[in-house]
Amino acid sequence: MKLARQMTAAALASALLLGGATAASAAKTVRALTWFSNQPQIDDLEIPFWKDLSKATNDEFTATYRTINEVGLKGFESLRTLQSGAFDIVAFQFAYVGGDDPALVGHDLPGLASDFETVRKVADAYRPVLEQRLREKFNGKLLAQWPFPPQILFCKEPIEKLSDLKGRKVRVNGAVISAMVKSWGATAVTLSGPEVYQGMQRGLVECAATGAQYGNQYGWYEVSKQLYVLPIGGYALVGHVARLDFWNGLTENQRKILGEQMGKLEKGMWAMGAETHQDGVNCNTGNGPCKSGKVGKMSIRFPGAEDQAFFLKTFKEVALPTWIESCERDFPGCGARWRETVGKAVNVQ
């Protein structure tokens, strides 16, 4: 069934791409699958990047591209699509493919980082591990990785600290953060983003984690009172991965040119992550300029040193052991590799 689904996805993607090829015959065509559209990172940066690739590379490359929405695939199918050969470069959120390989989410565990500077340090430290796993298990070459804004808490009733979540129903995304939330005496709830608004109204959830801008887009500021600015759900890191056969088929000069362009995209995405996070916070609270959302009146609270220490303690006692246990089953030595890379970078063992 899985193979049939991959073949169907590959056939669909190929059919979609055939109609979009307009490159000059001299240029090397890159078939790209982007992440979900209707997000500024994709609409304002990634799609224009592929559109302008020919100009940026002096016609060395041209690109045909489709968003994962257009192809009709689920997020967890993105990496499998790369393996099918339908695309040369695929973008995907690591958390969505953690079921295929838990090692791929070792740099974005909830509780590990509380700011973009730390996330960047962690991502850079863990990159060799990602490169190894993608090469050996998925025949892939990591070209770029970047974060979405952090997943922070929207709460119907204000909290002073994380322990106040005890007894509340909290919408989260992922097994690791679910385990953390449960350790605080809260109930972890799984709802898709568009379902949260009604879930808040009906009392199915009392707090929900997502990016500030995403929550604003879906009107969460209308059904919640407080924004608790702690990255409880991580930073939703995204990777751009090339099919290794495609990458190895390029000339040395072509690899240099495409690698440089992907580096520029990566740099832009890191900058946008911080910008859109702040804009989302401004929009939800009505404090500061709101460039791309609707203005709300939420109160805002930032965690103090005590709560940050509490969050890190939960990470060490719950999140990290939970992840290492699942990772070791598929990748023996996973925990040691994490301690040698991420652990040293942020002084967490």
Q: Which two tokens stand for residue 337?
A: 């590799």
Q: Which two tokens stand for residue 89?
A: 């470069």
- Full set of structural domains in the chain with CATH: 2-148+235-277 (3.40.190.170), 151-233+288-346 (3.40.190.170)
pLDDT at 30: 97
- The count of other CB atoms within 10 Å of the CB of residue 263 is 12
Q: How far is CA 64 from CA 16, 33, 46, 315, 348, in A?
A: 9, 9, 12, 41, 43
pLDDT at 314: 92
pLDDT at 133: 96
Residue 52 Cα to chain centre, angstroms: 24
The rounded distance, in Å, linking the Cα atoms of 275 and 272 is 5
Query: Residues 290, 294, 295, 299: is their CA dihedral positive or negative?
Result: negative
Q: pTM for the whole thing?
A: 0.85
331, HSE (Cβ side, Cα atoms, 13 Å): 25
pLDDT at 114: 85
pLDDT at 28: 94
pLDDT at 2: 41
The rounded distance, in Å, linking the Cα atoms of 259 and 257 is 5
Give me the average pLDDT of each 10-residue run along the chain (349 residues): 43 45 64 91 95 96 94 88 91 90 93 90 97 95 96 96 96 87 94 91 95 93 96 92 96 97 97 94 96 95 92 92 93 96 92
pLDDT at 316: 93
Burial pattern 227-236, b for ≥16 Cβ within 10 A else e, equals bbbbbbbbbb
**What is the DSSP-derived secondary structure letter of residue 305?**
H
